[in-house]
Amino acid sequence: MLDRIRSRFRRKPSVKTLSPDNIPQHVAIIMDGNGRWAKSRGLPRVAGHHSGMKAVKRVTMAADRLGIKYLTLYAFSTENWKRPKSEVDFLMKLPQEFLAIELEELIANNVQVRMMGYKEGLPSHTLQALETAIERTAGNTGLVLNFALNYGSRKEMMDTVRQLCQEAAEGHLQPGGLTEADFEARLLSGGMPDPDLLIRTSGELRISNFMMWQLAYSELWFTEVYWPEFSEEHFLEAVSEYQRRARRYGGL
């Protein structure tokens, strides 16, 4: 009750009301609700994905303005191949369309594009668009825009285990001496800090095989808002809530 009254009178978050000393370094987002957004408007599901692409732009720019260092967006999971081919084909065209429109502005804003996921199975046009963007932005030092594409956390962890076993079998490492850092370095996210904040839109309260190792101590923030409607204001609200959390990492 008290919480509801407090939140009613809380000032709307803006860049000015946020504490510049406590900006999350890495924000990860499960962009959910495209299909339901489209259905609620009598549109085909793919119209929701297309509108979701515009939210990607809004949130990327908002993250950049806030000084967030890493933004990871779950764009396609290793399980999403189960969807109808027409929907998969549409989703695979979005990186290409997005980058055709936005790459120059991303470059002008010093954004570095990366991809976290499996290249196998991706159509060549998708891969080529991403590889061009990755190459052209490799020297940029601003926001890292990391697309989780054909990504799945269980596969990522299993592949890492396999790789470690292989290295042990070849005598390059001692199983008894393995550290968390050894494991982390071999994950697809190797080299990036763990997400400080995970956002999931559309009211679903699941992790859905997304960065399960890396999210161990992330702050979780869920909203009912469907991804295509997710605005800069929603994003600031999430960061503002993050700033009110006390992160204890199991301590006191």
Instruction: Specify binding-site residues.
Output: 32-37, 45, 49, 77-79, 81, 83, 200, 206-208, 219
Phi, psi angle pair for 234, to nearest 5°: -60, -40
Mark whether 22 is an active-site residue. Answer: no
Question: Longest C-alpha distance within the chain, in Å?
Answer: 62
Region from 1-9, 51-59, 117-125, 158-166 binding ligand FPP, contact rule CB under 6 A: 51-59
Query: Of these, 90, 151, 227, 230, which contacts ligand FPP (CB under 6 A)?
Result: 227
Which tokens in the block code for residue 170?
Answer: 């070849």
List for the chain the helix, strand, coil content (%; round to 5): 50, 15, 40
**Is residue 152 involved in binding ligand FPP (CB under 6 A)?**
no
**Is residue 35 involved in binding ligand FPP (CB under 6 A)?**
yes
**Residue whose C-beta lies closest to ligand FPP:** 35
SS3 of residue 28 by DSSP: strand
Choose between 153 and 160: whose C-beta lies nearer to ligand FPP.
153
Choose between 36 and 58: whose C-beta lies nearer to ligand FPP.
36
Give CA 76 to chain center in angstroms: 10
The one-letter code for the residue type at 155 is: K
**How many CB atoms are located within 10 Å of the residue 175 CB?**
10
Q: Which among 3, 21, 32, 194 is annotated as catalytic?
A: 32
**Is residue 36 involved in binding ligand FPP (CB under 6 A)?**
yes
Q: Given the DSSP bridges, would you call strands 26-30 and 112-116 parallel, antiparallel or unpaired?
A: unpaired
Which tokens in the block code for residue 66?
Answer: 């806030």
Mark whether 64 is an active-site residue. Answer: no
Q: Which residues are annotated as a binding site for Mg(2+)?
A: 32, 219
Binding site for ligand FPP (CB under 6 A): 31-36, 49, 52-53, 56, 75, 80, 91, 94-95, 98, 147, 202, 227
